[in-house]
């Protein structure tokens, strides 16, 4: 629901802040006061394109903010979350237009492109009248409205799901057929690759072990020479090896230790060092004894490594990836060898999906035709009462010219109208004037009030060209709609204004050569005066004021 509008430096509005409530709000005022400017400003914040001349003369930029309560709009909150925007229970749309013609949009404080604002705006507000927010003209909206009216949401979803599954299976079948067409050549190649990789028989971790063994074998002479030299210097030399030197000096220090106990720690460390040298030299001796010079083994290891790296280069992978490559080739080979069986299975599945889709789509079409006839009859009754006495509303369901399953069913939906006797029904976009379209939209909105997705509906001059009892009928329909939606209505008829739950007066003030538009919420007394003005013109008499009071009181019981 729209809770607040803030406008600054837009057209002849210097600054305006308006708080709105649920129910039906009417906006009235003399011709030229700027009633429709509010609707135009709201259109901009909902994604309409802007021209630089909308900026108030002398100002650098215009700014419009609209605040929405999303407490009961989980779909909108989900949309905001998907687009990484703040998805709390309040949404703020802001639009800034500079005098140079540049425009910026924001959703919950984050910069947003115009298309994104428009997409969000179409979920929040629907504007009817001489305005481009006429969603009723869109074929997709007409289909949604009919399906909402028929209340077969589960069946619509079932048709959509079957079509999606059919499409996914068909795409998979086409891919399999492409594989089958190149199957023989690919099979031969895959069998060769699998045989070659299986012959290599590379185990996990083998490459690392081979690299380690190759380094050891290739440097065997160096390892023997240097390890032997270390062993001799540390332990095996007859005189002057490291162990002998440590033991000799340790004995001398032990003797001195009796003279100064502080040498105890040094003696202990040297004793441990002697033990460590003995153990280390023992391990080194075992290593040297095991170390072998094996040229034949070295040749085999290097040939094995060469085979691994050659095969890796051939397939443009790292050597470590060869076992995984074998798994991939084996899986593809198995799939190709079974492709005929899989093709047959998939073809049966697609045929079953087509039959299921056809049955569900036919059932959906039958329900749509039944609902279309009922909706058309009810809408015709309402639009005839709304000043189109010869108007006839109809819904055309046209079979799609394709045998391919469509996500929205077997038929297209088109709202049509015949405004005058003897004229054939044609699509709304081709024959309906702005006023007629507004009244048709009002009829549809009233009939769909329980299922309508858009929470705020704005009707701009929907009562153009009507009066008397028809005007009161329009007002009563709008008031009925206001029980389930937030309705904003710009009107010049007292019969409609009297039926609003809330009343705002738009006025134009001229001060020191500057023109400004203002808006005020009317209390009961001021409302009587405004409706009396609309009834009686320049001079408000006691009689017109009494008539206005009577209309307001009568509306309260509607």
Does the pTM of the predicted model rise above 0.75?
no
- Residue 539 located in a structural domain: no
Write the DSSP string, 408-455. Answer: T-SEEEEEEEE-STTPPPEEHHHH--HHHHHHHHHHHHHHTTTT-S-S
11 assigned to some structural domain: yes
| Cβ pair 453, 484 in contact under 8 A | no
pLDDT value of position 452: 63
| Other C-beta atoms lying within 10 Å of the C-beta of residue 10 | 27
pLDDT higher than 70, residue 30: yes
């380094």: which residue's tokens?
A: 215
The reply to whether 134 and 202 lie within a common domain is no
Name the 3-class secondary structure at 396: strand
Whether residue 22 has pLDDT greater than 50: yes
Q: How far apart, in whole angstroms, are the C-alpha atoms of residue 219 and residue 215?
A: 6
Could you tell me if residue 31 is inside a domain? yes
442 close to 481: Cβ distance less than 8 angstroms: yes
Q: Cβ of 58: how many Cβ atoms within 10 Å? A: 9
Identify the pLDDT of residue 199. 87
Amino acid 155: pLDDT: 95
Q: What is the pLDDT of residue 434?
A: 66
Are residue 406 and residue 496 in the same domain, yes or no?
A: yes
Give 3-state DSSP helix, strand, coil % of the chain, rounded to 5: 60, 20, 25
User: Within 13 Å and on the Cβ side, how many CA atoms surround 288?
Assistant: 16
314 and 423 both lie in a single domain: no
pLDDT at 129: 61
pLDDT score, position 215? 78
Highest mean pLDDT among 108-112, 258-262, 286-290: 108-112
Q: Which domain holds residue 204?
A: 184-337
Mean pLDDT (whole number) for 173-182: 78
Q: Are residues 361 and 454 in the same domain?
A: yes
List the structure tokens of 489: 């209505």
> Any residues with CB less than 8 A from the CB of 558 and at least 6 apart, and which?
476, 479, 499
Phi, psi of 551 (to 5 degrees): -65, -45
CA dihedral 236, 239, 240, 242 (to 10 degrees): 20
User: Which of the listed residues 275, 306, 337 is the one where a domain comes to its end?
Assistant: 337
Residue 533 lies in a domain: no
Between CA 84 and CA 112, with CA 122 as vertex, the angle to 5 degrees is 35
Average pLDDT over residues 499-503: 93
Using CA atoms, how far apart are residues 453 and 485, in angstroms rounded to an integer?
Answer: 10
Are residues 394 and 304 part of one domain?
no
279 CB burial (10 A radius; 0-12, 13-18, 19+): exposed
Q: What is the CATH number of the domain that holds 389?
A: 3.40.50.300
Last residue of a domain, one of 278, 309, 337: 337
pLDDT given for residue 538 in this prediction = 65
Stretch 277-291: mean pLDDT, rounded?
82
39 and 129 Cβ atoms separated by less than 8 Å = yes
State the pLDDT confidence band at 65, using cuts at 50, 70 and 90: very high
In a domain, 166, yes or no: no
Residue 451, pLDDT above cutoff 90: no
Q: What is the percent of the chain with per-residue pLDDT over 90, rounded to a whole number?
A: 30
Q: What is the largest CA-CA distance in the chain?
A: 138
Alpha-carbon distance of 149 to 531, in angstroms, equals 36
198 and 332 belong to one structural domain: yes
pLDDT digits 0-9 by tens, 371-386: 999 999 999 988 888 7
Residue 69 clears pLDDT 60, i.e. is over it: yes
Same-domain check for residues 237 and 365: no
Statement to judge: residues 308 and 385 lie in one domain = no
CA–CA distance, 462 with 438 (Å, rounded to integer): 5
Most confident of the ranges 27-41, 317-331, 437-451: 317-331
What are the strands, taking DSSP E only, across 281-363?
A: none
Lowest mean pLDDT among 93-102, 358-367, 531-540: 531-540
Task: Name 3's Cβ contacts closer than 8 Å, sequence gap at least 6.
Answer: 19, 20, 67, 68, 69, 90
- 30's tokens: 């003399």
Question: How many angstroms separate the CA atoms of 93 and 109, rounded?
Answer: 8
42 and 134 in a single domain? The answer is: yes
Please determine, for residue 355, whether its predicted confidence score (pLDDT) is greater than 90: yes
**What pLDDT does residue 449 have?**
63
pLDDT at 17 over 70: yes
Q: Using the predicted structure, report yes or no on whether residue 130 has a pLDDT greater than 60.
A: no
Mapped onto helix, strand or coil, the DSSP state of residue 43 is: helix
Residue 83 within any structural domain of the chain: yes
CA distance 255 to 272: 18
Sequential DSSP letters for 133-168: --GGGSHHHHHHHHHHHHT-HHHHHHHHHHHHHHHH
Query: Band of the pLDDT at 513, cuts 50, 70, 90?
Result: low
**Whether residue 221 has pLDDT greater than 50:** yes
**pLDDT, mean of residues 202-216:** 80
Nearest to 211 by CA among 315, 306, 93, 329: 306
Look at the chain and report how many structural domains it folds into. Answer: 2
- Same domain for 20 and 137: yes
Same domain, 442 and 513: yes
Say if residue 23 is in the same domain as residue 118.
yes
Instruction: Give the per-residue pLDDT at 239.
Output: 79
Name the nearest CA neighbour of 508 among 6, 136, 9, 30: 30
Look at 233-242, 305-314, 427-436 and tell me which has the smallest mean pLDDT.
Answer: 427-436
- The pLDDT of 413-422, averaged and rounded, is 86
- How confident is the model at residue 465, as a pLDDT? 63
Question: Tokens 């009030």 — which residue?
Answer: 449
Using CA atoms, how far residue 544 sits from 105, 148, 495, 537, 550, in Å, is 46, 44, 13, 10, 10
Query: Is residue 551 assigned to a domain?
Result: no
Are 123 and 453 contacting, i.e. CB atoms less than 8 angstroms apart? Answer: yes
The answer on pLDDT for 131 being more than 50 is no
Q: Tell me the average pLDDT of the chain.
A: 85
Residue 509 forms part of a structural domain: yes
């Amino acid at each position: 629901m729209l809770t607040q509008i803030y406008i600054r430096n837009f057209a002849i509005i210097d600054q305006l802040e308006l708080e709105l409530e649920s129910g039906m709000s009417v906006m009235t005022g003399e011709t030229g006061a700027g009633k429709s400017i509010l609707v135009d400003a709201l259109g901009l914040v909902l994604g309409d394109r802007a021209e630089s001349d909308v900026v108030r003369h002398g100002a650098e930029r215009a700014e419009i903010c609209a605040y929405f309560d999303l407490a009961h709009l989980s779909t909108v909150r989900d949309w905001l979350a998907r687009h990484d925007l703040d998805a709390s229970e309040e949404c703020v749309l802001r639009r800034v237009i500079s005098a140079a013609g540049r425009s910026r949009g924001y959703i919950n404080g984050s910069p947003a492109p115009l298309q994104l604002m428009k997409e969000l705006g179409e979920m929040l507000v629907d504007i009817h009248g001489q305005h481009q927010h006429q969603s009723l003209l869109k074929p997709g909206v007409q289909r949604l409205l009919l399906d909402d009216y028929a209340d077969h949401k589960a069946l619509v979803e079932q048709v959509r799901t079957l079509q999606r599954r059919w499409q996914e299976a068909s795409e998979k079948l086409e891919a399999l057929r492409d594989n089958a067409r190149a199957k023989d050549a690919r099979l031969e190649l895959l069998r060769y690759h699998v045989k070659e990789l299986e012959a290599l028989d590379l185990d996990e971790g083998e490459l690392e072990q081979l690299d380690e063994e190759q380094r050891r074998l290739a440097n065997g002479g160096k390892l023997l020479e240097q390890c032997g030299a270390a062993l001799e210097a540390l332990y095996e030399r007859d005189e002057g090896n490291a162990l002998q030197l440590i033991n000799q000096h340790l004995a001398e220090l032990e003797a001195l230790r009796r003279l100064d106990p502080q040498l105890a720690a040094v003696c202990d460390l040297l004793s441990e060092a002697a033990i460590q040298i003995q153990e280390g030299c023992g391990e080194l001796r075992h290593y040297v004894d095991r170390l072998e010079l094996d040229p034949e083994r070295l040749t085999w290891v290097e040939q094995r490594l060469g085979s691994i790296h050659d095969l890796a280069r051939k397939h443009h992978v790292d050597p470590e990836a060869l076992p995984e490559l074998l798994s991939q080739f084996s899986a593809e080979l198995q799939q190709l060898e079974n492709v005929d069986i899989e093709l047959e299975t998939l073809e049966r599945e697609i045929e079953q999906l087509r039959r299921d889709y056809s049955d569900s789509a036919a059932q959906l079409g039958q329900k749509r035709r039944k609902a279309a006839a009922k909706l058309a009859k009810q809408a015709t009754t309402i639009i005839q009462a709304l000043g189109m006495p010869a108007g006839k509303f109809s819904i055309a369901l046209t079979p799609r010219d394709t045998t391919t399953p469509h996500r929205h069913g077997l038929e297209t939906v088109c709202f049509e109208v015949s405004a005058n006797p003897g004229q054939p029904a044609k699509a709304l976009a081709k024959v309906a004037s702005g006023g007629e379209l507004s009244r048709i939209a009002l009829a549809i909105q009233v009939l769909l009030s329980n299922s309508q997705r858009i929470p705020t509906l704005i009707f701009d001059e929907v009562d153009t060209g009507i009066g008397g009892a028809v005007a009161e009928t329009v007002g009563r329909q709008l008031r009925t709609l206001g029980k389930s939606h937030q309705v904003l209505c710009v009107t010049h008829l007292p019969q409609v204004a009297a039926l609003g739950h809330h009343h705002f007066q738009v006025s134009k003030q001229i001060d020191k050569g500057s023109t400004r538009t203002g808006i005020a919420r009317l209390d009961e007394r001021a409302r009587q005066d405004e409706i009396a003005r609309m009834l009686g013109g320049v001079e408000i008499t006691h009689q017109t004021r009494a008539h206005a009071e009577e209309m307001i009181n009568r509306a309260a019981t509607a």
